[in-house]
Structure 1
Amino acid sequence: MLLRCFSLLLALIAGPVAAAEADIVLDTAERYVRLQTQGLPGKVRITMGRLEVDRLPPCSAHEAYAPPGTRLSGRTHVGVRCLGPNVWSVLVPVQIAVTGNYVVTTRPLAAGQTLQAGDLATLSGDISTLPTGILEAPEAAVGKTLRNALSAGQPLRSDQLISPLVIRQGQSVRVTSRGTGFAVSSEGRALANASEGQVVQIRMGSGQTVSGIAQADGSVEIAF
């Protein structure tokens, strides 16, 4: 009889302790998710799932982490591990919805086609379910060329676009070397095609080959 009463007493004590530990785990996971998603575009909504663990040993130090291969968007999991005095880890389900703008095509488009404003539209919705690299504004795509054909209504990614060439192989270009308090310009000849922001090699009049960043105006800049 005494043994049974003692067991019931332990169960009554362990219940609140386990519940408190589960609350700490959920709070640790949520704070981690909020920190990791604070730089995402749009409005982030986080919904923590139910922790499917009946009882967790007491823990004095918790650490949240993203399991390998985990993407912190849509339906996913966040890990929480105990660093001591007991060692354990659990996965906490979480739903991360990000409401924001994204660009879609308004009609079927062919590979190699240069995009115009009328080819694109902006929609608003949950972008957490879309592939990475989705464009938020049509201005980022207008004037660029498609790498592959797209159907109407398809979200547009940055890796599907080719920027127009600002430098062509063999053309004469102005090369500006910049450093703290100085800027020196000279002429050279491009050894390859380049879009704005790409690294391109230039053969100078002296025969020396240098590398710089292609600028929108067709010049090349070397920073020191």
Structure 2
Amino acid sequence: MVTVNLGMLHYVIDHVYGAFMHRTKISPPFFSRGWGGSKLELLERLINQLFPDVEGQIWPPNLIQPMWKTVWESKNACLREGVFRTPCDEQLLNALPPESHYARVAFLTPKFVSPQNMACVVHLAGTGDHTFERRLRLGGPLLKENIATMVLESPFYGQRRPVLQRGAKLLCVSDLLLLGRATIEEARSLLHWLDSEAGFGKMGVCGLSMGQYILLLLLHF
């Protein structure tokens, strides 16, 4: 009987695939259009504008009003999807591609439980996570513990991806900075909405890969 170490098999397949894609250049590289500005000074100013001092941050953030539609309902749970205009200020909004001006969010909640008696976790996207499904699967088991799941679609991802961008391959370095700051603003506003509008008493944020990195930045705002 032949046994296979799945972990090692996945490792080998990943390396073979990565080497093939890199050497054949079938897939475009990250940041194929460079920094996103003609001078490095432009990028430095962008960083200072996008990540100001913590003392300059204001709570509560801008209040959002998502427009909800029900995707499905079961005996014990309900999944809704919402759309809202990103709460970023005008300067940041103008720097974002038009496709990213409106944010999308999925909201999975247990039924017959009041918001005051359950918690909610906002799940941030990892690199290449263009859909809601993966993070909703993480939220499924939480329903039994009366924990709701809110999944935010990142700017530059999914339906918010610019037309010329292929997959998760951001065109410019500045796009990564914009993605991070816009996600922070949207996550802050979602937490504020959960607290002030939906009435949740307990809230949290989680993320994997890029989502974890943005979460660490969010803690400083």
TM-score by length of 2: 0.23
Structure having the higher strand fraction is 1
**Which one scores higher on RCO, CA 8 angstroms, separation ≥ 6?**
2
Pick the structure with greater CA Rg: 1
TM-score by length of 1: 0.23
